[in-house]
Amino acid sequence: MKKLVFLHLFILIFHSLSSQTMTPELLWSLGRVNALGVTADDKQLLYTVSYYDKESNKSNTQLIQYDFASKKSTNISNTNAYIGGISFDKSGSYLIDKSGNFSTSDNKPVSLTKDAEYSNFIISPNGKNILFSRGVNAMQTKSDLYPNLPKTEAKIYDDIMFRHWNVWEDGIFNHVHVADYNNGAITNEKDLMPNEAWDSPTTPFGGTDDLAWCPEGKMIAYVAVKKFGKEYAISTNSDIYFYELATGKTKNFTEGMNGYDKHPLFSSNGNYFAWTSMARDGYEADKNDIIIADLKTNKKVNLTKDWDESVNGFIFSKDNKKIYFNAPFRGAVQLFEVNIDFENKPVIRQISEEICDYTAVIAQIGNKLICSRTDMNHATEIYAVDISNGKSEQLTKVNDEAYSKIKMSKVEKEWINTTDGKKMLAWVIYPPDFDPSKKYPTLLYCQGGPQSALSQYYSFRWNFQLIAANGYIVVAPNRRGMPGWGTAWNEQISGDWGGQVMKDYLSAIDQFSVKAYVDKSRLGAVGASYGGYSVMMLAGIHENRFKTFISHCGSYNLDSWYGSTEEMWFANYDLKGPFWNKEKPKSYELYSPHKFVQNWNTPILIIQGGRDYRIPDIQAFEAFTAARMQNVKSRLLYIPDEGHHVLKIQNGLLWQSEFFRWLKETL
């Protein structure tokens, strides 16, 4: 009898341990996996796992080596240093970047030529040279003008683009450098862009994917937007430059191509060079194609010209006959292949079909692709995907133990009929232990971008698993402006921010809320960036559908936003010009939330980062003031040390606590 009682208690305890729901603390305790690369002999994969510590408000990083033969992972180092990247040469040795300091594969420090931070390094295939970037003072600053006034914090600018995303222009620019490398020593460092006031890698998101060596180690490719001030603020015309080590000459390889040209990559045999390209200057969300050039004949072909979707990233196949790439497709990010053909129309084949996001294609090992992967219930892990049939095998299992104790959310597709006769996919995320006989409060999730895919990503802030675990159904529609549904669907949002998109949102919540388990008296709308704008726009036109709103870093007054943002190409293209044009674009009158603020009558939480220069804090302040002056229940959460995204653990935990506190108060 005692044994039976003990067994029953054990089962109860085990069940309770394996039946947790996701919490903010659990979410931030997960390891964050980042694949670095595969060794030259294809035997090992190196990746990092970062863990966040609430007390220090920082992360620590572990460097892990996965052996393909034994299928085992080994911790190589445990350090508080930020692992910036890793680079291999053909011999199999590698260099690793730890917070701007290099060390070799046998953990020996690399001597640097200057006392400065180095980043984005790539060792040449022959191991004789090293390519890297570091900040260089390339223009006169306040300190140069007034050396006798060192304590003033004043800033002086003669042109726009004086701040970008989350940093002020300080006269320091990323410059590409090349140097000799010999047995752990870097010598004869050379700046490839001396005295030039532009960045490579490009800011704010460029890294080693903006740089490439040719296989012989004789030539470098790098990406730059060689513009400054107003000219830079209105243009997305990045180019790819070839630099020859022997002659020191630089050539603009993509001259005459007017949009973003990025992600340079040489084939392993040196015959081909490929990159991603957008056709139109000033349109940052244009269709992204793969262009390939035959370096012997200089013939160029657009491999994805006739494919009605947009590419994320790619690699060459081992035999240099194909290119493997990932792309948003029908509400997920899938894997594809395209054959390299300069004479006939290239053939594109879809490799994967599982409901997940393959967020990066890292390498080809035999007949498999090594990829990073997420879904709405799982953070990034690394998988091997069979190229022939798309079957996947999970290689890293960093968070498997944590997830084994967490109840998963059911994620389903819901097809919505739009007002213009289209079919729109909405992802629906249900609370764990969902019971259709009960009624649930339901949130309409409004995606940012505006042209970003709403796929199977796993966010550590807007985490659908966490929201559902708190008892809310989440409805996340693939509204206009999202890649993966054809270029026309993606482009329709430009100049029409508050038009068909708002109808798409309302169609989604109206059609889903007829279900018996949806509590129609407890509907909310939440979102960030363009999603934050969407929430404030809906607040003025929703006709009492919603009971609460949460808007993070959203544009409120499009007139003042145009005059205070930084990337003017984005505002010019998506609003169709400035508000002072003789023929004023309709966006400012028809689609600015502040024009409808007199209709606000629903509680709203407004969240804003102080270092967000894309959506400056004046937008949040104007919206909060308007709400309070009309006696609308509202709250302002202002985070001075965050930009457009919340990155620090204590800020993130506070953000999530306030998110759910507001919903409990108002929904």
- Model-wide pTM > 0.75: yes
**pLDDT-derived band of residue 108, with 50, 70 and 90 as boundaries?**
confident
Is there a domain that residue 440 lies in? Answer: yes
Mean pLDDT of the chain: 93
The per-residue pLDDT for 3 is: 47
- As a whole number, mean pLDDT of residues 252-273 equals 97
The per-residue pLDDT for 483 is: 96
| Bridge partners, 445 (sequence order) | 526
pLDDT tens for each residue of 342-362: 999 999 999 999 999 999 999
Of 584, 594, 576, 570, the C-alpha closest to 496 is: 576
Instruction: Judge contact between 261 and 254, C-beta under 8 A.
Output: yes
Q: How far is CA 624 from CA 590, 602, 607, in A?
A: 21, 13, 10
Percent of the chain, pLDDT > 90? Answer: 86
**Structure tokens, 583:** 């023929």
- As a whole number, mean pLDDT of residues 596-602 equals 98
- As a whole number, mean pLDDT of residues 273-290 equals 98
**pLDDT-derived band of residue 107, with 50, 70 and 90 as boundaries?**
confident
Q: What are phi and psi of 124, to 5 degrees?
A: -65, 150
Strand segments (E) across 54-203: 58-67, 72-79, 83-88, 94-98, 101-104, 119-123, 129-137, 163-164, 167-168, 172-182, 185-191
Rounded to an integer, what distance in angstroms lies between the CA atom of residue 544 and that of residue 516?
20
Q: How far is CA 101 from CA 114, 120, 212, 601, 626, in A?
A: 11, 11, 20, 55, 49
Is there a domain that residue 264 lies in? Answer: no
The per-residue pLDDT for 9 is: 42
The per-residue pLDDT for 98 is: 77
Is there a domain that residue 92 lies in? Answer: no
Structural domain count, the chain: 1
Rounded to an integer, what distance in angstroms lies between the CA atom of residue 126 and that of residue 576?
49
Q: Which residue numbers are catalytic?
A: 529, 612, 644
- 448 has pLDDT over 70: yes
Q: How far is CA 629 from CA 120, 624, 637, in A?
A: 49, 9, 17
Q: DSSP class of residue 199?
A: -
The per-residue pLDDT for 10 is: 40
- 18 has pLDDT over 60: no
Rounded to an integer, what distance in angstroms lies between the CA atom of residue 584 and that of residue 381?
48
pLDDT tens for each residue of 559-587: 999 999 999 999 999 999 999 999 999 99
Of 58-62, 79-83, 202-206, the one with minimum mean pLDDT is: 79-83
376-412 as b/e: b if 16+ CB within 10 A? bbbbbbbbbbebeeeebeebbebbeebbeebbbbebe
Percent of the chain, pLDDT > 70? Answer: 97
pLDDT tens for each residue of 647-664: 999 999 999 999 999 999
- As a whole number, mean pLDDT of residues 368-392 equals 98
The per-residue pLDDT for 110 is: 80
Q: What are phi and psi of 270, to 5 degrees?
A: 80, 5
The per-residue pLDDT for 103 is: 79
Q: Which residue has the higher pLDDT, 340 or 6?
A: 340
Instruction: Judge contact between 276 and 252, C-beta under 8 A.
Output: no
Q: Is the peptide bond before 194 cis (omega within 30 degrees of 0)?
A: no
**pLDDT-derived band of residue 432, with 50, 70 and 90 as boundaries?**
very high
Site of tokens 């959460």: 637
Site of tokens 């993606």: 490
**pLDDT-derived band of residue 78, with 50, 70 and 90 as boundaries?**
low
Domain holding 463, by residue range, is 409-666
> Reduced to 3 states, what is the DSSP secondary structure of residue 411?
strand
- 12 has pLDDT over 70: no
Rounded to an integer, what distance in angstroms lies between the CA atom of residue 445 and that of residue 525?
6
The per-residue pLDDT for 2 is: 45
**Structure tokens, 402:** 């944590």
The per-residue pLDDT for 85 is: 80
> Reduced to 3 states, what is the DSSP secondary structure of residue 368?
strand
The per-residue pLDDT for 525 is: 98
The per-residue pLDDT for 95 is: 82
- As a whole number, mean pLDDT of residues 445-461 equals 96
- As a whole number, mean pLDDT of residues 26-30 equals 96
pLDDT tens for each residue of 393-429: 999 999 999 999 999 999 999 999 999 999 999 999 9
Q: How far is CA 74 from CA 46, 66, 68, 398, in A?
A: 10, 6, 12, 12
The enclosing domain of 637 has a CATH number of 3.40.50.1820
Rounded to an integer, what distance in angstroms lies between the CA atom of residue 268 and that of residue 363?
12
Is there a domain that residue 646 lies in? Answer: yes
Cβ-Cβ contacts under 8 Å for 633 (sequence gap 6 or more): 603, 604, 666
- 79 has pLDDT over 70: no
**pLDDT-derived band of residue 118, with 50, 70 and 90 as boundaries?**
confident
- 485 has pLDDT over 90: yes
Is there a domain that residue 89 lies in? Answer: no
- 375 has pLDDT over 70: yes
**Structure tokens, 148:** 């006798």
- 445 has pLDDT over 50: yes
Is there a domain that residue 19 lies in? Answer: no
E strand or H helix at 529: none
- As a whole number, mean pLDDT of residues 320-328 equals 98
- 48 has pLDDT over 60: yes
Is there a domain that residue 314 lies in? Answer: no
Is there a domain that residue 287 lies in? Answer: no
